[in-house]
Amino acid sequence: MKMRQLLLALTFATTGTLAVTGLGLGLVIGQTTAAKAEGIRSGYSYATKETQGLQDDDMSNPGYLWVDTGEDLWSKAEGDAGKSCNDCHGDAAESMKKAGVSYPKYKDDIGKLQNIEQRINQCRTDNMKAKAWKWESSQLLGMTTYVRNQSRGLPVSVAVDGPAAPFFAKGEAFFNQRRGLLDMACKHCHEDNAGNKIRANVLSEGQINGFPVYRLKWGKVGSTHRRFRGCNKQVRAKPFKNGSDEYVNLELYVAWRGRGLGVETPAVRN
Amino acid sequence: MASARLKVPKKAKKGDIITVKSLIKHKMETGQRKGKDGKPIPRMIIKKVSATYNGVEVFSADWAPAVSANPFLSFKVRATESGTIELKWTDDNGKVVSQSAKITVQ
């Protein structure tokens, strides 16, 4: 009898605790959601001390060799209009400061999104009457790295509403869509398993605030779309083309996931 | 010159130990990799890097294939007089890239 009372008491106590835990859970869930917006982590925070060290000092960060390339090209007149970027935009530190945080952007004239590489090439073809630079060429990488470097430290802030909304939705769907022989979506690695190891690598959130990044494995700077292609290939899925609508839409969604993160271009990653 | 960077303090006191930092764009092909066609990719590395301070050699190194692509190099030297510090990188093809910086010593 005594035992039974004790058990009842215990049950009560347990139920009591559960109720409280339930409340606690409600709170915890609320906190997790709130923390998600603030608790977004750059790939930098997952990198080794050595890799972080390379990025920390502009003189040891090899990505700056590409920033220099971009800086040289900035004042070089090319094309039939005989103009350089500098002739129209002046000091990049001023004129390009905002550009690095706000792309991809919806553009009325093309009726879809445009990313920063494409914006630069539009200036080449339309404003300079020069040839577009090839994707992953040292010129386009150099200029993109230089332009984005002007925004270093500023929070990523892209527009995903209004006319950008349908493209954003496509990017989000891409991110969550299983694909390839391994049948995996971006989210399976970069959302569900961020912080866990995959072979020798620690998975990060797959943020793009540091792009173009200097990758030790590549031995050079590479674009966001090169990284997307690599991640598609890893799961044995057919990669899309650099500059494809699919990747530009995906880029907008991924940029938005990292909203508020400071631009790190050129980041160093392994 | 976009392919190399050199950083030397603009000013130093006579006798100070200063740090010289440099970066150079180079693929540093080790000679041990194979291309898509299965043939070895020929070695192409920076084999020598040297530094002069007002014309006098203060640092030099022979590099081996284990040095990373786009290598960073830093070394220390005593500031003795105002002038120029110059770095020279020489690769397997004999191509030389140089970069110099001025320092004022008080």
| Cα within 13 Å of Cα(B59), Cβ side | 19
Cβ–Cβ of A65/B25 closer than 8 Å?
Answer: yes
Using the CB atoms, write b or e for A38-47: b if 16+ within 10 Å. Answer: eebebbbebb
Residue ranges of domains in chain B, CATH in brackets: 4-105 (2.60.40.10)
For chain A positions 114-153, those within 8 Å of chain B (CB to CB) are 142
A216 and B21: CB-CB below 8 Å? no
Instruction: State the DSSP H helix or E strand holding residue B78, giving kind and residue range, or none if neither.
Output: strand B72-78
Residues of B in contact with A56 (CB under 8 A): none
Q: Are residues B18 and B104 in contact, defined by beta-carbon separation less than 8 angstroms?
A: no
The distance of A210 to chain B (nearest Cα, Å) reads 19
List residues of B whose CB lies inside 8 A of any A CB.
2-5, 7, 21-25, 27-28, 68-70, 72, 74
Q: Which CATH number fits domain A2-269: 3.90.25.10, 3.20.20.105, 1.10.260.40, 1.10.760.10?
A: 1.10.760.10
Chain A residues closer than 8 Å to B68 by CB: 216, 219
Using 70 as the pLDDT threshold, list the residues of chain A that sit under it. 1-38
% residues pLDDT > 90 (chain B): 93
Task: For residue B23, list chain A residues with Cβ-Cβ distance below 8 A.
Answer: 59-62, 64-65
**Segment B2-53, tens digit of pLDDT:** 589 999 999 999 999 999 999 999 999 999 999 999 999 999 999 999 999 9
What was the ipTM of the complex prediction?
Answer: 0.83
Identify which of A218, A249, A69 has the alpha carbon closest to the alpha carbon of residue A149.
Answer: A69
Per-domain residue ranges of chain A: 2-269
pTM score, whole prediction: 0.87
